[in-house]
Amino acid sequence: MNIIKEGKIDIWSWCVELEADCINQALNVANYLPVFKHVCLMPDAHLGYGLPIGGVVALRGAISPNMVGVDIGCGMGAVKTGLKKISTEQIKRIMKDIRSGIPLGFYKHKKDKSPPTSILPEYDEKMEVVYSQRKVLSSQVGTLGGGNHFIEIQKGSDGHIWFMVHSGSRNLGFKVAKHYNLIAEELDFGKIPQNISLSYLPVDTDVARKYVAEMEYCLKFAALNRSVMKDRIMEFFADATGCDFLEDVDIHHNYASFETHFGEDVVVHRKGATSARSGEIGIIPGSQGTPSYIVSGKGNPDSFMSCSHGAGRRLGRRKAVKTLNLKEEIDNLDKKGIIHSIRSKNNLDEAPSAYKDIDVVMDEQKDLVDIVTRLMPIAVIKE
């Protein structure tokens, strides 16, 4: 862990190789916001919007929509099956069922196939954004989304077959984040320069309380979204293999939480970061060509009991598409026997080489988590 002492508040970085733009974003947080103790950058830290992705920041009496991000409640779900092995035919059948039974990318459920609205978390008219989206929420729950969201079948170091789901609050989180960030910019608490996208709301204001209520709804919605998908995938596994299921882990990594650290009540923002309290089970995914990990938190107070949310990007999406070699990426995955999603040059933004080395990322956070299970990808669905 390195300490950067260039701002009003120190930056504690578990990421050894930080890009300059990422450091500058962290310095903006350190210099302009009511930061408690220090700014934390996890090993997967990379350039984000306002706060670097992989950033953990505790604020005194304030909450910042852009430091939570637009995919509120985005997170990971992992299920351990009773299977010790699985055939190629079974994998292909499960993948076909997933593609036909779970909307991927920007697609949502057709009206006659949407889950019932009764399964949605409760909301009321005071939740302005949630209430405005109430008619479309059931069509979005149980859908994957695009970008880096994925469904993956894996083989664990414990000898079991697992599957993993990465998804969030879909369009709802985006709308909540944009709505309240615009209000924060207009109210201009703290006189934050708008070009750094770090406006915040004092927690004792009505607008902050409204944001917290809607953010927490997004967390529930995102968890439900993953749960519905996991239930469907378990059905597909059971139909194809007759297996049972032994363990279900679910965590989110874009949120703010009211917590106590170093004896003070603060608002901890985890943007692309995961809670890692002592003994807390978490998930740190790699790329579609590298391992993912089930981990146990060590409760390190210096990171506000947090760890990375994944490998972290090494290349931006445009740069990855422009610079990576399609044949090399496909050959690399084919040699590993992974059924992958790299089909054309446009898919290179999600190629393994667009991401940091997950083994380095895990080594840099040995003081934050212990590895419980190593999961190697077998088959990946990513749109």
Cα of 361 vs its chain's centroid, Å: 16
DSSP string, 120-185: SPP--TTSHHHHHTTTTHHHHTT---STT-EEEEEEETTS-EEEEEEE--HHHHHHHHHHHHHHHH
DSSP string, 269-305: EEESEEE--TT-EEEE---TTS-EEEEEE---GGGTS
Pairing status of strand 75-81 against strand 245-252 = antiparallel
Instruction: Give the HSE-up count for residue 341: Cα atoms under 13 Å, Cβ half-sphere.
Output: 27
Closest-CA residue to 58 (of 311, 253, 262):
262
In 3-state terms the chain splits into helix, strand, coil percentages (rounded to 5) of 35, 30, 35
Distance CA 221, CA 239 (A): 27
Instruction: Report phi then psi at 113, rounded to 5.
Output: -120, 5
Q: Look at residue 61 and give its three-state secondary structure.
A: coil
Contact call for residues 270 and 251 (beta carbons, < 8 A): no
DSSP designation for 114: S
Here the tokens at position 319 are: 């740069």
Of 38, 149, 309, 340, catalytic: 309
- Give the chain's radius of gyration (CA, Å): 20
Instruction: Give the HSE-up count for residue 309: Cα atoms under 13 Å, Cβ half-sphere.
Output: 30
Closest-CA residue to 252 (of 166, 177, 174, 171):
166
For the question of residue 46 being annotated catalytic, the response is no
Distance CA 277, CA 269 (A): 15
Here the tokens at position 183 are: 């209000």
Catalytic positions, please? 309
